[in-house]
Structure formats: C-alpha cells, structure tokens
Chains A and B, each alone.
Chain A
Amino acid sequence: MDLQTTALAIIAVPLLGSFLIPVVGWMRKGKLTGYLAVALIGAAHLMTWTLLGPARAGQVTSFKIPFYGDLINLSLTIDALAAFMAFTSSLIATLIAIYSLGYIEHGDHEPEYYFIVTLFLGAMMGLVFSTNIIFLYTFWEISALACWRLIGYFREPDYIWKADKAFLVTFGGAVLMLLGFVLVYAQYGTFEIADLRGKTVSAVALVLILAGVFSKSASVPLHTWLPDAGVAPSTITSLLHAAILVKIGLYGFARLFCNGLSIPPQWHKWLLAVALGSAFVSACAALQETNIKRLLAFSTVSQIGYTFLGLFAFTATGYVGALLYIMAHGLAKGGLFLCAGIIEHGTHTKDMTKMGGLFKKMPVTAVAYLVCALSIAGIPPMAGFFSKYFVIQGMVNGGYHYLAVGAILTAVLTLLYMLRSFHTIFLGQPRGESHHEGAPVMVTVVAILAVMTVLAGFFLPMPFALAKVAAAQRTIFYTLAGLWR
C-alpha cells in the first residue's frame, strides 16, 4: 500500500468500521462488540507503523480529494507531526480498548460504548491527517459528540449534566473557532492550511481560534468541564486525557500555527503567560483534591499547560519538547487513569482519604502508578523528564527566562501532589475492606503502560528523531537565529 491508501485506511477502518459495532450489538452478540472494537482500533494502530519510516526520512505526502470547489476539499497530509500523533494516539487507544474488555460490564449500553470509542479514534485519525480546515473542524466536532455520549455513560442525572457541560463548552469554543476560521478565509480566501503557510493571522481571528483550542484542551479558565468529566468510566477518562481529546487542542494549535498561519511575535509572551498560569493554577488545585480522578484531571490541565509552553516558545527545542510531552504524558496519564480504574473497582470509592495501604493488595498497580506518577513529575529516567527538560530548554532558548523559572516551580508542585497521592492511596494503614487486584487483562495493560513509560525514556532517540523532523517541517516565522535554537 502506498502512503495515501494507508492514511485513508487508517481513517476509514475505525471511522466507518465503528458502524458495524451497533449492528453486531443488535444481533445480540454483545460480547463480540469489544473484540471488534479492539480489532478495528488495533488495525488502525498497526497501519500507523508503516508511516513512521517515511516520516522519519522527512517525506511529506499531500493529496486532495476534491469535494466542493475550492472551498472544502478533503486534503490529507502525512508528515512527521501527523505520523507522530497518529502513532501515539492509536497506541494508547488500543491499550485502553483492550483494558475495556475487563472493565466494561456486559449490558445494554456495551455496544454503544465500543461503537463510540471506535468512532472517537476514527475522528482523531481523521483530524491528524486533515489539512483542510473544514474537515479538521468536522473531525474535531465528531470527537466532541463522542465525548458527550461517553461521559454520560453511567446515565446518572448529574453525570449527564456534566456530559452536556463538556459538550457545550467544547462546542462553544469550537464554533467561536469556526468564526475565526471564517475570518481567516475572508482575509486569505482559502481553507487549505498548506496555502496559509506563513500568512499572519489577525488578532480577532487568533483570539477566536484560541477559544476553541483552549476549550478543547481544557486550559484555565475553560477547563472546568474536564475534572467534571471524571464521572465517566475510567477507560473513558483515560481516553480523554491521554489518547485523544485534550490532545486535539494541542495538535490543532501545532497544525494551525506551527505548520500554517503565523502569530505575530508580540503575542508570544502573552500566550506563554496564559499557559504558565494554567499550568500553575491547576497544579495548586490538584494539591488540594482528595478525589483521585479529579486530582489526575487537574494534573492533566497542568500538563497541558506545560505542553503549550513548549509550543508557545516557538523554538525548535520547545516544539520537540511539546511533541515528546504529548507522548510521555499520554503514556503516563493513560496508565494513571487505568490504575485509578482498578483502584475504583477494588475499593468502590474515588475518595483517596478512604484508601490507604493498598500496596500489599495491589502490588502491580501500585508500582505502575508510581512509575507513571514519577514520569508526570519529570523524574529521570522516565520519558516525562526528557520532555519537560526540552520544554524548559526551549523556553530558555526563546529568551523567556523568568517564565522558565515558573515552569520549574510548577514541576516541583507536580512532584508534590503526585507523591502525596501515591502515599495516601498505597502506603500507610489499610482503611476499608474488600480490596483486590484488578482483572488480569486490566493489570497487564497498566503494566505495559508503565514499562513503556520507562522504555520511552531509555529509547528516547527514536521518538526524538521523529519529533526533530517534525520541528524542521514547521513554518519558520522569523529568521532570527535560524532553525535550531
């Protein structure tokens, strides 16, 4: 298969294949739906492997399937950024889908769950390859509606309200972003990101588009839906935080403003300040949370802020850091939420103050949790350390020394709340009863994620090489000190 067919297949297999799942569900073969979902998502992931080689060689393949005149065409681009994102997201999503087999109870809503998870991944795959803004937006919104159904999965009244909130906030941000896109269209007459390369974005359009990016990526002050989304099944929170949803905003920014439009330099430090504020404030919020899933959610908001720091520095090092951060955070946070799922299954609570001493009962989960938590906090040799280092280095290279100090301070806070949560949950005297380790498939997946977190640190040169190619493919905004700062 050539690259074009592969890319189309990566999108079509989960996106169109997902519609088989409700059909299988109607045939009262509920149990099969899970395996079908794993097969579809896994197939998409395996196909992304074939993109890595050409992408690392710096090959960029673009092609266009004409739809409606010059306005809306399905343009797909396979470059290092797209390959990196597709690979990372589908990898984590595959693991989460496997974990779901042990986690989701067989019942009425099981086919719907697997249907929407697969559709969700399909939308993500469509998003990472699309370089027409309208198609990008379409996939962006499919992910929002998938997220709506999944957050309300347990159907409790206030859960549904929180699902609605997530949908409304992200949809609201997205339509404002759409208005921003239309303003860009009015200015430059195209929806093709390739044709917008290097064009300066107007201030109003920038603010509108950022509303969409920040609402999707749950940055302060548009973040409140994300902690609330913790009412979803743990697999879904894991999917939202690690593999797909909040990464969409980051990816969207990277695609639109690092590989397309350019932001005038006077905006850069304000963007950095916003991202740092988001990272810091949510780290403080995480410090005083006692609900394990809300703590992890605030931690995600903080780490997303960190990733934005890397992107907003607009240096090659910062960009590499941001991409590595997306991978490292995806692996580690995916692992943490899945650990939280095992803990919640075992203890029937999300309140950390009611846990304690779980280390003996759940040794594998405990170790995996610790490894992932340390990676998030940025302790070497875990992958999280290197990504954090590159982000801070990128900020320093960009000349933002004071803000870099703030970033380091945030990292200290992260270590603090991560270790505190580990301590409260796993160490000390046991409280409550009926603890048991999770189902084998669940524990295995968690262990795999923890091992990968460590391996990603040891074998960093591999993702690093790809991220470096992606950084070289960016639009170069202003040629102060050349490409590699």
Chain B
Amino acid sequence: MEGLVGTLFLTPLVGALLMPWVSKLGRRAADAFVTLAMVVTVVTCLLLLPGAASTCTFEWLGAHVEVDGLSLLFLVVVNGVGLCCAVYSIDYIGHYGGRAKFFSLLLLMVMGLNGMVLVRDLFSLYLFLEVASVAAYVLVAYNLEFDGIEASLKYLLLSVVATGMVLIGISLILATTGTLGFAGLRAALAGGAASNPVLMLAAGLFVAGFGLKAAVVPFHAWLPDAHPSAPAPISAMLSGVVIKVAGVYALVRLFFGVYAAPPHVLRALLILGLLSMVVGAVVAYFQTDFKRLLAYSSISQIGYILIGLGIGNWFGIVGALFHVLNHAIFKSLLFLNSGAVQYRTGTRDIREMGGLENRMRVTGVTSVFGTLSIAGVPPFGGFFSKLFIILGAVAAKQWVVAFLTVFFSIFTLGYFLYLQRRVFFGKLNEKWNELKEAPAAMSVAVVVLAATTLLVGVFFDSVLRGLIEPAARVLVGGN
C-alpha cells in the first residue's frame, strides 16, 4: 500500500525531471514516456480502488500521508483526466513546440495535485497547492501570446491573494492550537471551534482563499481569462481537475474533516454555490468564444458542487462528490473538443463555425455526449449527480434551492444547445469545406472521455458504491 502511494508522488515527479533527457531521444520517446508515466499513476489508482472503504496512513519524509475514500475519488479524477490530456497533447502540442517542457510541467502539476489529496496537514497541503499552481501559471502562458501572458499574470496575482489568505489562516490556526495536522486539529477544534473568533476568522479566510482557487463567484474573475488562453489540454486540466482539487477538495477536507461542518460555513457554501450557478450560467449564455463559454459553465457547475456540499446531508454530499467526477469527465471532454476545433479552424469564435460535425464527426458526436451529460440528460453521468443534489435539497426542505437547481439545468441545456447549433449541428459553413478530423491521439482521448461519461451514467450504481459512497462516508464520518 505504501509503495503504491509513493508511486503516485514519485512517478510524475521523476517523469517531470527525466523528461528533458528522454526527449533528446526523439519526439516519440517523449510521447511514450509521458503516456507511460500517466498510465502508471492511473493503474496505481485502480489498484488502490478495492481498498476504497478502508484507509491507509503512514509517515513519509516527516509528512503524514493517508489514503481514504475521499482522496481516492480525487486521485482517480486527477490521474484519469491527466492521462487523457497527456495522450491528447501528443498531437496537439506539435504546433506550440517545446514538447519536453510542456510534458514536464504537466507531470509536475499532476504531482502537486496528487500530493494535495494525499497529505494530512495544512502546511503540506499548502506546499503542494503551490507546486500545482506554479506549473499551472506557466502552462496558461504557454502560447506566449499577449492574451495568454495577460491571463497568466491575472491568474497569478489573484491566486497570490488567495494563497496569502490561506497562509494567514494557517498561521492563525497554528498560533491558536499549536498544531497543523488534521487529526490533531480536529481534536483541538472539537467543541470550541464555533465560539473561538480567531478560528472562525481562519475559516472565513479559507472559504475566500480556496473559494478563489475554485473560481466561485464572486472570486471567479481569473478563470474566464485563464482557461480559454491556455492550450486545450491545460484548459481541460484546469477546469476539470485543478479548480476541484485546489478549491473544492481543500474546502471539503477542511470543513468536513477538520471543522466538523459548522452550519454557518455550510450556509456560506450554499449561498456561494447558488450565486456561482446562476451567474456562471447567465454569463455563459452571452459568450461567443467557445472556450470562454465553457469556462463560465465551469463556474456554474462548481456552483452545483458547492450547493450539494452546502446542503450537507447524505444525498447532497453524494451528489456533490459525484458531480466532481462527472464534471471532470464532461468538462475536460468539452474543452478537448474545443481544442480540436481550434486546432483545425484556428479560431475560437463560434460565430464563424457551423456544421462542423460534417467534417469532424468524432469531435461532433463526442461533444454531443458532453452536452447531454452537462445538461443532466439521462442516462449520462451528469443526470445522476444532479438528481442526488436535488434529492438532497428536497430532503433538507430547501425548496428554493431545489427549484433553482432544476431551473438552471434547463438554462444549461439552453446555452449548450446554442453552442451545438452554432458549431456542430447544421449545414456546413462553406469556409470549412477542406476541414479534416482532428489527429488520431486527440480523437482517442475524446472518445475515451465520451464513453466514460456514458458508462458512468449507465453503471451509476457501481460508481456510486465503489467510488462515491466511500468518499462521502469519510465526510459524514467526520461530521
């Protein structure tokens, strides 16, 4: 078990460090190496899966490392999406150049994210958050064009504010309780947390700091710039994985695992979630940039996740965690689709497209899968997570929340149908007569993701039992 967990740290790290030398052997060697590294981490996650219900803890380099159901869910998400993005990049990154640098940074980001979900103290969490973030800042600016660098700078500056707040929160906690390990903190906070103003101030700082990382409205300003400007596989990683691990996972771990779900924090999450869901969906409706539309829809979907958490009952939490998985799959799928379209057409402006499914069949069909899943059409995965969130809202007698959640899934379908209508469905725009399907590796990645989003829906029971429920039990157990 320890060996497997160590693999999750070391494989991406060693991969990132060796990449410059491996790439000297040629293009194909670098491609094979990054794929191999990611396959190893995915296989490791799958090997850990049967033990999802139990936990494994040990000390490593002075840090407390633990695998439980919640970590495992996020590990599967990070490494699964990471593998798809890495495979996709093999063909995609050709026109940017700097293959080795790109793969190194990607692996470094995966390493940071894996670290975040495995460690069990605030300082290490913060450390790995910064590892992942630094890689992300560079990758956003990877195209070295004006908008990329601008977006990266914006992302960096706002994130510094976020991590600053987190760091102050950590200092406050350390000063008050004298410990940073989650287990110790939980004991120290038991009972006294709600009454101690310093600890509640720290909680507020964490909500704002990690909320900014999760791009929750009103802390979302960086996301609509950063996600579209990045290369498509990085947009997919950012929207599908990074905001969830750096934001949602940290919030969940802290407020359910350490703070024992204080009611006013839950209410704050619920309100922030509603705000994100509504604002993200409404603003997405007015976008004409393919990736910007997806970026706003990510904000909206993060809102759904926070709503589920804010409701705080079993259904709500199961729904939220299931939505983490589903959103990771379908949003990275859609971002990879947008990348394929941009790769072939050279534009992200959906007004210039039209009828692309006639030339890019694989991209078109897989984007329909993504659209249906994000709108919550059964039997795709997105439906079941939304169903559980609605079940939770009704069980908690949050009628307004339940109604808004339902209403905005109509809205979501509305703007995604608009996207389908302008980009894929319909008569081919004459301009794109010579268009070809995206290269093989890119198509393979999107087909895998599209199949996964359907299979997760069809076999929702196994996914719930094997992956989501153990994760939810960790949270409710800490309650």
Interface flag for B189 (CB, 8 Å): no
Nearest chain-B residue to A144 (Cβ)? Answer: B377
| Cα distance, A156 to B425, chains bound together (Å) | 10
Is residue A220 contacting chain B, with contact meaning CB distance below 8 A?
no
Q: Are A179 and B426 in contact (CB under 8 A)?
A: no
**A154 vs chain B, min Cβ distance (A):** 9
Name the segment of B155-163, B175-183, B244-252, B390-398 touching the other chain. B390-398
Once bound together, how far apart are the Cα atoms of A146 and B38, in whole Å?
37
Contacting residues, chain B, for A167 (C-beta < 8 A): 413, 417
**B301 in the interface, Cβ–Cβ < 8 Å?**
no
Q: Does A17 contact B (CB under 8 A)?
A: no
- Is B406 located at the chain interface by the 8 A CB criterion? yes
Across the two chains, which residue of chain B brings its CB closest to A167?
A: B417
Secondary structure dominating the interface of B? helix
CB contacts (< 8 Å) of A185 on chain B: these are 391, 394
Select B378's contact among A141, A164, A186, beta carbons within 8 Å: A141
Query: Would you give the shortest CB distance from A148 to chain B, in whole angstroms?
Result: 8
Q: For A140, give the chain B residue with the smallest CB separation.
A: B378
Query: Contact partner of B417 among A67, A68, A155, A164, CB < 8 A?
Result: A164
Asked if B391 and A175 make an inter-chain contact with CB atoms under 8 angstroms apart, the answer reads: no
Residues of A within 8 A of B391 (CB): 182, 185
Any chain B CB within 8 A of the CB of A320? Answer: no
Docked-complex contact B394 and A160, CB < 8 angstroms: no
Residues on B with C-beta less than 8 A from A138 are 378-379, 383
B421 interface residue (CB < 8 Å to A)? yes
A183 to B397, CA, bound (A): 10
Task: Please name all residues of chain A whose beta carbon is closer than 8 Å to the beta carbon of B426 when the two chains form the complex.
Answer: 152, 155-157, 160
Check B377 against A171 for contact (C-beta < 8 Å): yes
Given A68-B461, A142-B379, A186-B394, A175 and B406 contact (CB-CB distance below 8 Å): yes
Q: Is B414 positioned at the interface, with any CB of A under 8 Å from its CB?
A: yes
**A residues within 8 A CB of B406?**
175-176, 178-179
Within the complex, the shortest CB–CB distance from A413 to chain B, in Å, comes to 34
> Once the chains are docked, how many angstroms separate the CA of A175 from the CA of B413?
11
Q: Are A178 and B377 in contact (CB under 8 A)?
A: no
Using Cβ atoms and an 8 Å threshold, which residues of chain B touch A161?
421
A239: min CB distance to chain B, Å? 20
- Distance of A176 Cα from B387 Cα, bound (Å): 12
Q: Please state if A179 and B390 are interface contacts (CB–CB under 8 Å).
A: yes
**Would you call A172 an interface residue if the criterion is a C-beta within 8 Å of the partner chain's C-beta atoms?**
yes
Are A72 and B461 CB-contacts (below 8 A) given A178-B406, A179-B406?
Answer: yes
A-B pairs with CB below 8 Å: how many? 77
Please tell me if B115 contacts chain A, counting CB pairs below 8 Å. no
For residues 277 through 326 of chain B, which have their beta carbon under 8 Å from a beta carbon of chain A?
A: none
Enumerate chain A residues within 8 angstroms of B421, measured Cβ to Cβ. 160-161, 164
A214 to chain B, nearest CB (A): 16
Q: Is the CB of A145 within 8 A of B387?
A: no
Contact B427 A171 (CB under 8 A): no
Interface size class of A (residues with CB under 8 A): 20 to 34
> What is the distance, in angstroms, from A272's C-beta to the closest C-beta of chain B?
28
Report the nearest B residue to A154, measured CB to CB.
Answer: B427
Contacts A152-B426, A155-B425, A164-B421 given; does A175 touch B376 at CB 8 Å: yes
**A9 on the B face (CB < 8 A):** no
User: Nearest chain-B residue to A164 (Cβ)?
Assistant: B417
Q: Which residues of B contact A427 (CB under 8 A)?
A: none
A134 within 8 A of partner (CB): yes
A182 pairs with B394, CB closer than 8 A: yes
Per a CB cutoff under 8 Å, which of B355, B375, B376 touches A155? Answer: B355
Q: Do A155 and B377 touch (CB < 8 A)?
A: no
Asked if B372 is at the interface (CB within 8 A of a chain A CB), the reply is yes
- In the bound complex, CA of A185 to CA of B390 (Å): 11
Interface membership of B358, Cβ < 8 A: yes
A137 located at the interface, meaning its Cβ lies under 8 Å from any Cβ of chain B in the complex: yes
B377 contacts A145, C-beta separation under 8 Å: yes
A157 adjacent to B427 (CB under 8 Å) = yes
Question: Residues of A contacting B375 with CB < 8 Å?
Answer: 171
Residues of A within 8 A of B394 (CB): 179, 182-183, 185-186
Chain A residues close to B by CB (< 8 Å): 67-68, 72, 108, 134, 137-138, 141-142, 144-145, 148, 152, 155-157, 160-161, 163-164, 167-168, 171-172, 175-176, 178-179, 182-183, 185-186
| 12 CB-based A-B contacts, threshold 8 Å | A72-B460, A137-B378, A144-B377, A155-B426, A157-B427, A160-B421, A164-B420, A168-B417, A178-B406, A179-B394, A179-B406, A183-B394
Task: Known A-B contacts: A137-B378, A179-B394. Give 11 more (CB < 8 A).
Answer: A67-B460, A67-B461, A68-B461, A134-B378, A138-B383, A141-B377, A152-B425, A164-B420, A171-B375, A175-B376, A182-B391
